[in-house]
């Protein structure tokens, strides 16, 4: 990490004043770095993780699938005359 020293740029009310560069462009906070580590791990092990999720936690697995499905679902329902009637419905959360 680069140690950058700045003159005291705080105003009397405690806010930073003009001339304070703030965080360098492109730098990441700790949460972003942790999330990146999790995503990298998932990408490397996604086949095994999904298989284990499906086997051990079917309800969660199905919940993930339903959240990935489109919200508007077209369904063909058998009609009274033997044909099919198209029905558009909202996916239930």
**DSSP labels, the chain:** ---------B-TTS-B-TT---SPTT---HHHHHHHHHHHHHHHHHHHHHHHHHHH-HHHHHHHHHHHS-SEEEEEEE-TTSSEEEEEEEPP-
pLDDT interval class at 78 (50, 70, 90): low
């680069």: which residue's tokens?
A: 2
The residue extents of the domains of the chain are: 30-90
Q: Using one digit for the tens of pLDDT, what is the confidence trace for 2-21?
A: 445 555 677 788 787 777 66
* Residues in CB range of 6: below 8 A, 6 or more apart: 19, 20, 21
pLDDT, one tens digit per residue, over 34-71 is 999 999 999 999 999 999 999 999 999 988 888 888 77
Mean pLDDT of the 16-35 span = 79
């Amino acid at each position: 990490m680069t140690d950058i020293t700045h003159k005291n740029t705080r105003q009397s009310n405690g806010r930073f004043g003009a001339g304070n560069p703030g965080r360098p462009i492109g730098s990441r906070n700790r949460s972003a770095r942790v999330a990146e580590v999790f995503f990298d791990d998932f990408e490397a092990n996604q086949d095994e993780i999904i298989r284990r999720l499906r086997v051990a936690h079917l309800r969660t697995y199905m919940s993930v699938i339903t959240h990935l499905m489109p919200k508007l679902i077209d369904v063909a329902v058998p009609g009274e005359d033997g044909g099919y009637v198209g029905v558009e419905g909202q996916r239930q959360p």
